[in-house]
Amino acid sequence: MVRSDSIRMHELTFCGRVKSWCDDLFRQHPEWPFDRAEIEERGRGNNKRADLRIYDRDHQGPILSGEAKMPGPTADTVKALAAQFARAGTDGLENREVFQTPEVVQAGGLAALKTLGKPREVLMETKKRMFAA
């Protein structure tokens, strides 16, 4: 079983990239009503967290907030890779055939990982997170 924080990293990476894109666009378009984007904030008076919030330029309050979730096949593939690690340790992930194992193929395989970027980099980041856990 994969710890949720190993998957969460991908959501944070995605939200961080979206925040950067938004901030760049907001600077380029001062006529837009948006001031900035923030990630992983909690609302006032409650513990409800939003992955991404967009703030109003005039009132400085959040005007848009939302959650980001990794697509099902991508999450399933990361979980299948983590299961390989749980069964065979580092050798399970270092094996060149890891992407041909039935669990990884059935989960979505390389095509699913490509939605996050280069599969090799996704695998390296997944390994880093598992070793840090």
Enclosing domain of residue 28: 4-66
Give the SS3 label for residue 46: coil
φ, ψ for residue 121 (rounded to 5)?
Answer: -70, -40
Assess whether 46 and 79 both reside in one domain.
no
Model confidence at 91, pLDDT cuts 50, 70, 90, reads: confident
Tell me the CA end-to-end span of the chain in Å, nearest whole number. 13
List phi, psi (to 5°) of 2: -90, 135
Per-residue pLDDT of 92-101, as tens digits, reads: 777 878 888 8
Q: How many domains does the chain have?
A: 2
Task: Output phi, psi for 108, to 5 deg.
Answer: 140, -20
- pLDDT for res 133: 53
- Backbone phi, then psi, for 126, in 5-degree steps? -60, -45
Q: 3-class DSSP state for residue 123? A: helix
My answer on whether 15 and 55 are in the same domain is yes
Q: Is pLDDT at 130 greater than 70 in this prediction?
A: no
The reported pLDDT for the residue numbered 105 is: 92
